[in-house]
Structure 1
Amino acid sequence: MNVLMMIVVLLGGAATAVQAGVNGVLGRKVGTIEGSFTSFLIGTVALFLVMIFLGKGNVLQIVSLPKWQLTGGLLGAVYVIGMVFAVPKIGVASAMVAVISGQLLTSTVLDHFGLISGKPIPIDWQRVAGIVLMIAALVLFYKK
C-alpha cells in the first residue's frame, strides 16, 4: 500500500467534508443553484491558475477524448448541488455517510464489471460486508 497516496486521499476526504459544510451554508445564504455555481466558479478559477503555473499536460487533447470522459464535471455538479441542498437539512456527517455509502456501492459495481478502469475486481463477502456496515452506519448517523 502506498502510504503517501492514502494520506492524499484521506486529506481529500477531509476536504470534501469541510466543503460540504461550507457549501451548505453558502447555499442557505444565496440559494442552492447559486451556491453550487459559486463553488464551481471559484474552483474553476483556482484550477485554471494551478494549470497555468504548474500544468505539464496538454489541455487541448480534450477534443480527441471520448465524450463520456468529459462527464466528470457534470457528475461533480450533481454532487455539489446535492450537498448544498442536503447539508442544511440533515447535517454534514449524515450527508457524508450517505455520499460514502453511494460511492462504495457504485464503485463496487464498477469494479466488479471492470467498468471505467477495465480491470474487474469481483464482489466478495468482504466487500458485501463493508457495504452492509456502511448502510448500517448511515442508518445510525441519520436516526434521530
Structure 2
Amino acid sequence: MSTLHWTGLIVLAMIAGAVVPFQSAINVNLGRGLGHPLWATLASLLVSVVVLLPIIVALRLPLPSLAFISKAPLWMWAGGAFGVCFISLALVLLPKLGAAGFMALALAGQVVASLSLDHFGWFGLMERQLTLPKVFGVALLMAGVVLIQFFDAPAKGLATAG
C-alpha cells in the first residue's frame, strides 16, 4: 500500500474514533431530556436508521440475500446488541468519569479485546500474533488511562465562598 493510501486510512480511523466522544456527550444530554439513558439509546439508533436508509437508496445497494439472512449464525447479529451496550454504558458512565476518562477506559477495553480478536482470529479475522511490543503498547495505554482518570486537576468554578 502506498503512503498516501495508509495516510488516508489513518485519518479515517481517527475520524471514526473522534466522533465517539461527541456522540456520547450529545446522547448524555438527550438522555437527560428524554428522562432515561435507554430512551436516548433508542433515539440514537433510530436516527442512525433514518440517516443510513437514504444513503443506501442513493448508492442503489442491492437488497441483502435472504438465503444468507436465513442461515447466518446468531453471533453475526450481535453487533447491534454491542452497539446498544456501548451507547447505553456511555450515557451512564460519561457524566461520572468525564469524556476523557470514559473514552480512555473504553479505548483500553477496545485495544485489549482487539488484541484477543487478532491473536485468535475470532469471527473470521486474520490471525495476528500477540507480540511483546503489542503487550508493551497496551501497558503504555493502561498507564495513560491511569494518568487521565486519576490525576485530574480540581474542577473549575466549584470553589465556594468561605
Question: What is the TM-score of this pair, normalised by structure 2?
Answer: 0.81
Cα RMSD (Å) of the superposition?
1.6
Counterpart for residue 39 of structure 1: 44
Structure 1 residue 4 and structure 2 residue 8: aligned?
A: yes
Runs of 4+ in 1 over 2 A off after TM superposition: 55-67
Contact 2:117 2:125 survives alignment (8 Å):
no
Pairs within 5 Å for 1:1-144? 2-30=6-34, 31-61=36-66, 62-143=69-150, 144=152
**Structure 2, unpaired ranges of 5+:** 153-162
CA distance 1:126–1:68, shift in 2 (3 Å): same
More helix by share: 1
| Aligned equivalents of 1:46, 1:126: Cα separation in 2 | 40
Q: How many residues end up aligned between the 2 structures?
A: 144
CA deviation digits over 1:105-143, x for unaligned, max 9?
Answer: 001011111112342111111111111111111111111
**Structure 1, unpaired ranges of 5+:** none
Question: What is the TM-score of this pair, normalised by structure 1?
Answer: 0.91
**Bigger mean CA offset, 58-67 vs 113-122:** 58-67
| Aligned equivalents of 2:49, 2:119: Cα separation in 1 | 33
**Bigger mean CA offset, 39-48 vs 117-126:** 117-126
Structure of greater Rg: 2
CA deviation digits over 1:15-68, x for unaligned, max 9?
Answer: 112111111222222211111111111111111221122242432443342221
- Choose between structure 1 and 2 for higher RCO, CA contacts under 8 A separated by at least 6 residues: 1
